[in-house]
């Protein structure tokens, strides 16, 4: 049975891109005793290795879920104490307007806008109000360059659905931890569980992680948008319809053999899955794919309603299916 208190803790931790320290601390605590090697590299990725039984058919499998979340950074403090911001990662400005944000030091602010039309698209039109009315007063709490992220409490909805901030991609981190707990090293493959930094600003952490690991294959574990609610994205993914096996990712061409193996794995093990195509964005599959002399990649995703907001929604059933899939998939013999 999964420990959802851990997922709650992961979602509530501050971890805007480049400032993933708190998330990393939780993951390192959880990794204790679970794997053969753990290291943190220079840019902050956590790389955990669970060795397999070895033998000629054994592969080096890299799984990658990102620790970071989107947010904003202070670029100017106005004389009246309001903070002008720029975005870190793809922030929908409309998802921030009239909401609270939290800075790394715990300072809370409210996002306002001088121009309601501008608030829809232009982060530069937004400001953060921390309750100060002069620049001097504001600087006691927040400096130019400081980062803030969403305040997005954890709630359990009906039908096993969860709502919180940062499920993208703390849910993926949780999935990897739970899959690692089940890995007793009986499979043929050495499995690297990578918790990457800076995915939201260009899949940067996974680049250096893949260069170190030199995997035979890589699998990104991330979220993908739900398409069955009013939004401006189109596709066929739906929360609650199973783990999404990625068939289309604009940032990487998924390896035909690995995808077929993943679909077979779902069929053979009775894992509920859906076929997923992303038509925007990208994942850590892109950097694994183009690392070294080229790496075969695949991807799985948790379908996420209201992504990149303070109140994303995913399904516990999809999460369980994802844990099952990663467990069985990483124990397969890959014939390439």
List interacting residues with Zn ion (CB under 5 A): 168-169, 222
Q: 42 exposed, middle or buried (CB, 10 Å; 0-12, 13-18, 19+)?
A: exposed
* Smallest gap from residue 15 Cβ to Zn ion (A): 12
Options 9, 20, 199, 241, the catalytic residue: 199
Q: Which residues contact 116 (CB under 8 A, 6 or more apart)?
A: none
3-state SS, 293-333, equals CCCEEEEEEEEEECCCCCCEEEEHHHHHHHHHHHHHHHCCC
The enclosing H or E element of 28 equals: helix 21-31
Q: What minimum distance in Å lies between the beta carbon of 284 and Zn ion?
A: 8
* Nearer residue to Zn ion within complex by CB, 10 or 128: 10
Reply yes or no on whether 25 is catalytic: no
Q: Phi/psi of residue 191, each to 5°?
A: -110, 125
Q: Which is nearer to Zn ion, 222 or 255 (CB)?
A: 222
At its nearest, how many Å lie between Zn ion and the CB of residue 167? 9
- DSSP summary character for residue 91: -
Q: Which C-beta is closer to Zn ion: that of 169 or that of 190?
A: 169
Backbone phi, then psi, for 328, in 5-degree steps?
-70, -40
Nearer to Zn ion, 52 or 299 (CB): 299
Residue 110 CB, shortest distance to Zn ion, in Å, is: 26
* β-bridge partners, 229: none
- The residues carrying an active-site annotation are 199
């Amino acid at each position: 049975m999964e420990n959802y208190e851990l997922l709650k803790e992961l979602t509530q931790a501050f971890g805007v891109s480049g400032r993933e320290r708190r998330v990393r601390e939780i993951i390192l605590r959880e990794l204790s005793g679970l794997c053969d090697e753990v290291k943190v590299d220079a840019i902050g990725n956590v790389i955990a290795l669970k060795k397999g039984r070895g033998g000629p058919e054994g592969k080096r499998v890299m799984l990658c879920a990102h620790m970071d979340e989107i947010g904003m950074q202070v670029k100017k403090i106005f004389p009246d104490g309001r903070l002008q911001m720029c975005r870190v990662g793809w922030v929908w400005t409309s998802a921030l307007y009239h909401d609270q944000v939290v800075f790394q030091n715990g300072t809370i602010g409210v996002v306002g806008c001088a121009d309601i039309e501008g608030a829809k698209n232009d982060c530069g039109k937004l400001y953060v109000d921390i309750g100060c009315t002069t620049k001097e007063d504001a600087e006691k709490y927040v400096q130019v360059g400081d980062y803030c992220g969403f305040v997005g409490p954890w709630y359990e909805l009906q039908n096993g659905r969860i709502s919180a901030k940062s499920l993208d991609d703390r849910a993926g981190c949780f999935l990897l931890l739970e899959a690692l707990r089940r890995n007793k090293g009986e499979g043929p493959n050495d499995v690297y569980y990578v918790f990457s930094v800076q995915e939201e600003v260009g899949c940067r952490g996974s680049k250096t992680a893949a260069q170190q690991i030199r995997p035979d294959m890589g699998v990104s574990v991330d979220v993908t948008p739900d398409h069955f609610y009013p939004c401006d994205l189109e596709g066929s993914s739906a929360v609650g319809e199973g783990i999404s096996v990625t068939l289309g990712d604009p940032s990487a061409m998924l390896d035909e053999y690995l995808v077929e193996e993943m679909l077979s794995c779902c069929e053979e093990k009775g894992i509920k899955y859906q076929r997923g195509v992303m038509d925007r964005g990208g994942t850590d599959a892109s950097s694994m794919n183009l690392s070294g002399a080229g790496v075969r990649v695949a991807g799985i995703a948790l379908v996420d309603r209201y992504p990149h907001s303070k109140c994303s929604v995913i399904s516990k059933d999809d999460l369980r299916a994802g844990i099952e899939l990663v467990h069985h998939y990483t124990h397969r013999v890959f014939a390439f």
